[in-house]
Amino acid sequence: MASENRINIDIFKAVTRSVAHSEDLDVMTNHLAQLLTAGLDIKGCAIFVLNAVTEELEILASFGLSAKYLTKGPLNTPKSINETFQGNPVVIADISKKNKSLQYPDEARKEGIAAIVSLPIDHLGEVVGVLRLYHFEPWKVSDQDLESLQILAGIIGLAMTYARFHNSIYAIAEVLGHTFQVELTPKWGKR
């Protein structure tokens, strides 16, 4: 169980480029899941959005995980690594050790998952989603990597908020029948 730092500037560059060059939330989050899986050399990644009404996580994007695992059952916030919904990152370094945080431990083992990192995605202090990283071997995440992952989760939260805002503006304009171009990017230097 290595505790080496895995997050480097190249991963941050790739994530910020992905966020900066996409207005489509689905495309962006799927790209981020692929980038994080490859960049960290892990089994997979999933990005969930919290449904505040049902208190369940809904899959927004994933990479490296089977459809069977992703559809194993609903992920209820009180049962599925609950500490994440209180705004805390959770590292389950070795799922073979008993852990009451896991809602589906048997399914995780069958999927070949040995470790899970669960990070809150928040907006203005409220958890709106979860970033989960899955490793095929036990994983002791370094303090520096955990801090970096929290920053990446924050970037994902900003990107999700921006994409939703952007899409809402265009949807409102379409409903109102406006054909004007909504300009959301600043024109630096123009007055």
Is the full-model pTM beyond 0.75?
Answer: yes
- Report which secondary-structure segment, H or E, holds 155: helix 143-175
Residue type, 166: H
Instruction: Give the whole-angstrom CA distance, residue 146 versus residue 167.
Output: 31
The residue ranges of every structural domain in the chain are 9-175
Return the pLDDT at 181. Answer: 55
Of 129, 120, 164, the residue nearest 49 (C-alpha): 129
The listed range with the strongest mean pLDDT (75-84, 89-98, 178-187) is: 89-98
In this structure, of 64-68, 159-163, 186-190, the range with the lowest mean pLDDT score is 186-190
Of 4, 21, 6, 2, the residue nearest 162 (C-alpha): 21
Return the pLDDT at 91. Answer: 93
Question: Residue 85 in contact with residue 120, Cβ under 8 Å?
Answer: yes
Question: Does pLDDT of 22 surpass 80?
Answer: no
45 φ/ψ angles, rounded to the nearest 5 degrees: -145, 145
- 1.10.10.10, 1.10.240.10, 1.20.1250.20, 3.30.450.40: which CATH number matches 9-175? 3.30.450.40
pLDDT confidence of 64, banded at 50, 70, 90? very high
Query: Residue 48: beta bridge partners?
Result: 59, 130
Question: Residue 44 in contact with residue 64, Cβ under 8 Å?
Answer: yes
Q: What angle do CA 133, 57, 53 make, to 5 degrees?
A: 160
Report CA dihedral (8, 133, 3, 142) to the nearest 10 degrees.
Answer: 70
